[in-house]
Structure 1
Amino acid sequence: MTTRSMHGISKPKKPFQTNYFLGIAVHRHAGGLFLSQSTYASEILARAGMASCNPSATPVDTKQKLSSSSGNPCEDATLYQSLAGALQYLTFTRPDISYAVQQVCLHMHAPHTEHMLALKRVLRYVRGTLTYGLHLYPSPIAKLVSYTDADWGGCPDTRRSTSGYCVFLGDNLISWSSKRQPTLSRSSAEAEYRGVANVVSESCWLRNLLLELHFPLSQATLVQCDNFSAIYLSGNPVHHQRTNHIEMDIHFVRENVARGQARVIHVPTRHQIADIFTKGLPWVLFDDFHSSLSIISNMSSIGARSAEIYVMQKRQKEKMKMMEEERVRRGDVCAEEKKVATSSVGKTNKVHPACGKQVLPLDS
């Protein structure tokens, strides 16, 4: 090729960088990536006529959940359904509102005035956190860490439980869910174990996806649960007659534990991040878990140094949490708790919210 012909060849362009994709803004800075839907959230508020409303500290209160017959029928059901559907898409970068949106969407078929008030509270929370989004850090991808929790019998209409989980790849949140369980659980251990099975299934899918992307994981996925009975069931090879009706979930989890792909460990309730996906929390707890999910304000405007400090603080908090979990695994849990874990499989000492009576053992 001659020198003259080479003059006609254009210089290679810089790699393509996405700044806006399907309503999600991507901001790059020295501390990583910041994903935000602030523009989309502002459009939702304008559609609801709440662009200048007073903000709320949390998206949902800590009171009892709303039933399907709370209040009078909503005057504009179409507006309710439109706003609820729009909020569902907003959860792509705002996992902190997943539980509140899930509760609102349960009543889309026949919304009442109380349901509309709950939806407006979510919007007031969004109004006060418009600049918030999901932050992704430069982080090793050596392991998956997940948290799972369940709110037993929380639905006032069906008494079904709500399961919630979140999955971290390194320091980054990559998957989360808040969903009402399809069947009724007769004990808190059963509800918790169904939640464990759900997050193990999600972790298996993520491990296979990483394998296809040529990033196989050699370490087992850590599944952190705050229910001793569910942890005991995941590793105990002895079959219990009381667990026949959740036998498929039990064998699925045990098989993954035996293959070294998952390990179910205990996490103190104070550090159970998945609580934010199953129930309304007071502001102090909500704010703590909110930060643990890497949901923060736009860091591109506060500088790289502030981003680095935030990452260091986050990793220090995770280190302290892992040290506490290690003490539990070494046997620092009191003997009484271990006794309860081995003797209450399939049972519960709680009072069922539907009838106010103590729940019978599963084999009764």
Structure 2
Amino acid sequence: MANIRCLISLAAQNNWKLFQLDINNAFLHGTLHEEVYMKIPEGVSAPAGHVCRLKKSLYGLKQAPRQWFARLVEELQFQGFSQSKNDYSLFLKKDADDIVLVAVYVDDIIITRSNEQSISDLKTHLHKIFSIKDLGELNYFLGIEVCKCDNGYVLTQNKFTKELLQDCEFDLSKPASAPFPSVLKLYSDQGDLYDNPALYRCYVGKLNFLTNTRPDLAFVVQSLSQFMHSPRLPHVHSLHHTLRYVASTVGQGILLQATDQLTLRAFCDSDWAACPFTRKSVTGYVLLLGNSPISWKSKKQSTTSKSSAEAEYRAMSHASGEVDWLVRLLTEMGLFDLKPVKLYCDSQSAIHIAKNPVFHERTKHIEVDCHFTRDKVLEGLIELCYLPTGQQLADVFTKQLPVSQQQDLLYKLGMFFSPLPSLRGVLEHIA
């Protein structure tokens, strides 16, 4: 999804149009390289004991998706496209000052370019080879609504959210102003076991899909996902609270907009020893292209940190890895002069550790991979900057904040808040 958000953000910046294609019967176009046999279909006469040998792929074969993608790659390369080394689902074709970008997900394709005639030529060729369905300008992709506005594109999941709420078995009549109850600690061994764990897993999985356009749900999903194997009643109560929050914020999404100066910025943070059971910390980071959020994550760290500075240093390492990948991806897309990327952290100690190449008692136990940040600073890829905690955008990915502070940070993150009727009106409309 970071690749898709980068593509849409780039189109918004350059005022390019986005087009969408769908391949008819995509898996039937794959060519098999193995010998695959199947039973004689009903209605086909054949000698007893005989089977069919497939010459081309069919739906249901394990090889079908792989062979279809290989066939599509072959055809795009024949048209002069090169496959990205940073994301194999992205294809690029550069001509002088022009560039064509093609993003592929199975049989759904997004195309953008400044020269629309080249897009028409590509559509004509693909239709001749595969038979395509031209869906026009991009408006719905992978369950995400893409709406063109004056200064960019708005990404929401209204349809999916309404379907989620319509099938919800919880009472959602009482609105919630925050995604998580304040001052809440969830334990894996406290409370009675929930009698329907499959339902809990279903809702958490759907909320996880919503995080593609809802950064405000990332920390919640990270927290609730830790108890998928054996949910208890306190976990279900927290899930219920989150669903009430989703019901009262149906129209939220992200705005990918054009800016005067297109720069890449990163924010990282951690909540030290946040897990009350394992005492592991939570890492959170977000990357903004201009003012548009293109990548974010909330994740519990795999090891226990001995200090808050170490936890922040580990969070910095995760963010640095994402910065390294995105800079290479965006450079392929035609964006240059992104270095050095400013990485904002609210821990002076962690910044000093990253800048100081001297090992001492407080850092010798830290794994070598965490010093990845130090290497990137020396390479000139990253510039470490201090930011006060109150202005740290990544704070929303590590803990539940007061409502006013969270709303302020979400606005700065580039979230879109559409005007909606009252919660009762939304629920009546869904019903």
Distance 1:200 1:140 in 2: 25
- List per-residue Cα deviations over 1:333-362 (Å, max 9, x = no partner): xxxxxxxxxxxxxxxxxxxxxxxxxxxxxx
- For the residue of structure 1 that corresponds to 2:364, the secondary structure is helix
After TM superposition, give the deviation of residue 15 of structure 1 in Å.
Answer: 9.8
Say yes or no: does 1:139 pair with 2:259: yes
Q: Which residue of 2 aligns with 1:119?
A: 239
Query: 2:280–2:301: 8 Å Cα contact kept in structure 1?
Result: yes
Query: Judging changes above 3 Å, is the alpha-carbon distance between structure 1 residues 60 and 213 closer, same or farther for their aligned structure 2 residues?
Result: same
TM-score by length of 2: 0.64
After TM superposition, give the deviation of residue 218 of structure 1 in Å.
Answer: 4.0
Q: Which residue of 2 aligns with 1:99?
A: 219
Distance 1:175 1:218 in 2: 16
Say yes or no: does 1:215 pair with 2:343: no
- List per-residue Cα deviations over 1:208-236 (Å, max 9, x = no partner): 11122232334311111111100111111
Distance 1:87 1:250 in 2: 31
Whichever residue aligns with residue 287 of structure 2, its letter is V
- For the residue of structure 1 that corresponds to 2:137, the secondary structure is coil
Identify, as 1 or 2, the structure richer in strand: 2
Distance 1:52 1:159 in 2: 33
- For the residue of structure 1 that corresponds to 2:377, the secondary structure is helix
Counterpart mapping for 1:106-185 below 5 A: 106-139=226-259, 142-185=262-305
Q: Which residue of 1 aligns with 2:70?
A: none
* Greater Cα shift, 131-140 or 197-206: 131-140
Q: Which residue of 2 aligns with 1:205?
A: 325
Distance 1:288 1:142 in 2: 22
Query: 2:317–2:371: 8 Å Cα contact kept in structure 1?
Result: no
Counterpart mapping for 1:272-351 below 5 A: 272-298=392-418
- List per-residue Cα deviations over 1:256-280 (Å, max 9, x = no partner): 1111100111101110111110011
Q: Report which of the two structures shows the higher radius of gyration computed on alpha carbons.
A: 2
Query: Judging changes above 3 Å, is the alpha-carbon distance between structure 1 residues 286 and 255 closer, same or farther for their aligned structure 2 residues?
Result: same
The root-mean-square deviation of aligned C-alpha atoms, in Å, is: 2.2
Number of residues of Structure 1 aligned to a counterpart in Structure 2: 291
Q: Which residue of 1 aligns with 2:139?
A: 19
- For the residue of structure 2 that corresponds to 1:245, the secondary structure is coil
Consecutive unaligned residues of structure 2, counting only runs of 5 or more, are 1-119, 124-133, 421-431
Query: Judging changes above 3 Å, is the alpha-carbon distance between structure 1 residues 15 and 40 closer, same or farther for their aligned structure 2 residues?
Result: closer
Query: 2:172–2:244: 8 Å Cα contact kept in structure 1?
Result: no
- List per-residue Cα deviations over 1:91-141 (Å, max 9, x = no partner): 000010110111111100000010001011111110010011111111256
Q: Which residue of 2 aligns with 1:304?
A: none
TM-score by length of 1: 0.76
Whichever residue aligns with residue 392 of structure 2, its letter is Q
Query: Judging changes above 3 Å, is the alpha-carbon distance between structure 1 residues 134 and 159 closer, same or farther for their aligned structure 2 residues?
Result: same
* Greater Cα shift, 85-94 or 213-222: 213-222
Distance 2:394 2:279 in 1: 20
Identify, as 1 or 2, the structure richer in helix: 1
Query: Judging changes above 3 Å, is the alpha-carbon distance between structure 1 residues 249 and 229 closer, same or farther for their aligned structure 2 residues?
Result: farther
Query: 1:163–1:180: 8 Å Cα contact kept in structure 2?
Result: yes
Counterpart mapping for 1:242-281 below 5 A: 242-281=362-401
Query: 1:58–1:283: 8 Å Cα contact kept in structure 2?
Result: yes
Distance 2:375 2:419 in 1: 42
Query: Judging changes above 3 Å, is the alpha-carbon distance between structure 1 residues 285 and 120 closer, same or farther for their aligned structure 2 residues?
Result: same
- List per-residue Cα deviations over 1:308-334 (Å, max 9, x = no partner): xxxxxxxxxxxxxxxxxxxxxxxxxxx
Relative contact order: is structure 1 or structure 2 higher (C-alpha 8 Å, sep ≥ 6)? 1
